[in-house]
Amino acid sequence: MAGTTHTVTNQPPPLIGYDVYGADLALKEAVTRHLDPDLLDEVDGELSALGRACGSAQVQEWGAQANENPPRLRTHDRHGHRVDEVEFHPAWHRVLGKGVSAGLTAAWARPGGHVRRAAAFLLWTQVDAGNCCPLSMTHAAVPALRTDPDLAAEWEPRLTSMVYDRELRPAHLKAGALLGMGMTEKQGGSDVRAATTTARPLPDGETYELTGHKWFCSAPMSDGFLVLAQAPGGLTCFLVPRVLEDGTRNPFLLQRLKDKLGNRSNASAEVEFEGTWARRVGDEGRGVRTIIEMVAATRLDCALGSAGLMRQAVAQAIHHCTHREAFGGKLVDKPLMRNVLADLAVESEAATTLALRVAAAYDKGDEQERAFLRIAVPVAKYWITKRCTPLVTEAAECLGGNGYVEESGLPRLVRESPLNSIWEGAGNVQALDVVRALKREPQALNAYLLEIGRTRGADHRLDAAVKSLFTELADLEGIEGRARHLTERLALVLQGSLLVRHAPPEVADAFCAARLGGDRGTSFGTLPATLDLEKVVDRARPQA
């Protein structure tokens, strides 16, 4: 019969039309655990609505369109005037606007703001990671601006607004604004103190003219940027508005857009400053100290973003294997495939649990939690982002050849997966930051030890790992060469402690056996066969 060769069988249905939040038990439980009970009904409804949007065919299509139609640089208008604008596909504005309206820049202005935003950020990354860059930087700019009460009073209501206004015009005329960041330069990279951009004071003593460049300027269509430059008193933080109060364009010369491996929907630019007007944020010579809280917040978002990518990859892999048949049965029921899926699910849950615990520390905000953040942020950023790429790649393999085809969505996840490890300080920067905290801030280590001490005696493998960690911490001489190893151990012990306390026994048992007890190989799918892997997979299964 004509056309029978094109009958489609044994292909899984698209993973759409479901609540991405409701299907993620690890995330739902973390939100419930860390949020004030009085807020639970409100936040659960809010996140469920966002989860349904994330899982809808329409929003998923917007994410795909934004990546298939990357931004374009337009330096001049038709008459030859310099405009320095970036043009985006309409899908970019739809996704970014929905992210703003979902509160992804509003954490500082809402009760339980950091936990509810962290959960939303993890969800929204699964639609399009690129738009999460301006959302992250706008959110993270608030603590830096608070070093100057006048600036904070002026800009914070705009940044925490849930209104998206895409037009380039003076920020004081807008109901909501976005902020970008420019720190790295060609000659410096992560070594921001090597910046050569100069800041010349103007007569009022508060404003400056900048001359120089930034090698990476993220989200160049934002309403303003936090920038580091050399003032007479040393490296200083500045706020550079895109449009001045009188409506004229601030000199902000876009040289080119970066052609990146992933993150294709988002624009990253090289920018030149030529007499660019700027307002000082904080004191001269204290630029790094001023901007460090912004960096910490964006580092947490790197961990959350990677956790979101991991969760989406696991959901796609389990969904595929639930519907796909091979060798006489469902793939998900094959012992070896089940082992792979369970191993991926355990890694994903550990990432989500750690990232939400760190977010909760921001909401609590007491002295002990602030000390905990000093170690927990770089530890989480280092380890979760490092685990993202191997997990996503393994998840793509679960789909076989289908996972290598763009239509599956997995190649986009694979390309995106290394980004969070590189941005906001790569692995060595995070590990060395941990070492500095250990050497200079004993209260940070005390807070970490108190956190993991809550599970003392609960699991012999965890206890043994803590004992080994104590031995390593006792010798901090010459630690730089082994800083990555130490940071990894800190992360694994913390994840193990959290899972033993909060995850189902089968998940905690699998983690402790494989990550702390050493009863596994070096690739995913090598969990001990004695574990209850079917329950682990069922817990992570998305219900479309």
> Bridge partners of 226?
181, 239
Which SS3 state, helix, strand or coil, does residue 86 take? strand
Closest to 311 measured CA to CA, from 59, 502, 136, 540: 540
d(CA 147, CA 204): 19
Q: What is the pTM of this model?
A: 0.97
Tokens 């037009």 found at:
167
CA atoms within 13 A on the CB side of 12: 25
pLDDT of res. 1: 53
pLDDT of res. 529: 87
pLDDT of res. 304: 98
> Bridge partners of 276?
210
Residues 6+ apart with CB under 8 A from 273: 197, 210, 211, 212, 213, 214, 227, 240, 251, 252, 253
243 DSSP 8-state letter: B
What domains can be seen in the chain, in order of their start residue?
25-285 (2.40.110.20), 289-529 (1.20.140.10)
> Bridge partners of 217?
182, 269
pLDDT of res. 3: 59
Interstrand relation of 72-76 and 179-182 (parallel, antiparallel or unpaired)? unpaired
pLDDT of res. 2: 59
In this structure, the number of other CB atoms found within 10 A of the CB of residue 38 comes to: 9
The DSSP H or E segment spanning 326 is strand 325-326
The DSSP H or E segment spanning 273 is strand 268-281
User: 25-34 and 40-55 helices cross at what angle (nearest 10)?
Assistant: 160
d(CA 176, CA 196): 32
The distance in angstroms from the start CA to the end CA of the chain is: 34
pLDDT (tens place) for every residue of the chain, 544 residues total: 555 788 899 999 999 999 999 999 999 999 999 999 999 999 999 999 999 999 999 999 999 999 999 999 999 999 999 999 999 999 999 999 999 999 999 999 999 999 999 999 999 999 999 999 999 999 999 999 999 999 999 999 999 999 999 999 999 999 999 999 998 898 877 788 888 999 999 999 889 999 999 999 989 999 999 999 999 999 999 999 999 999 999 999 999 999 999 999 999 999 999 999 999 999 999 999 999 889 999 999 999 999 999 999 999 999 999 999 999 999 999 999 999 999 999 999 999 999 999 999 999 989 999 999 999 999 999 999 999 999 999 999 999 999 999 999 999 999 999 999 999 999 999 999 999 999 999 999 999 999 999 999 999 999 999 999 999 999 888 889 999 999 999 999 999 999 999 999 999 999 999 999 988 889 999 999 899 999 999 999 997 5
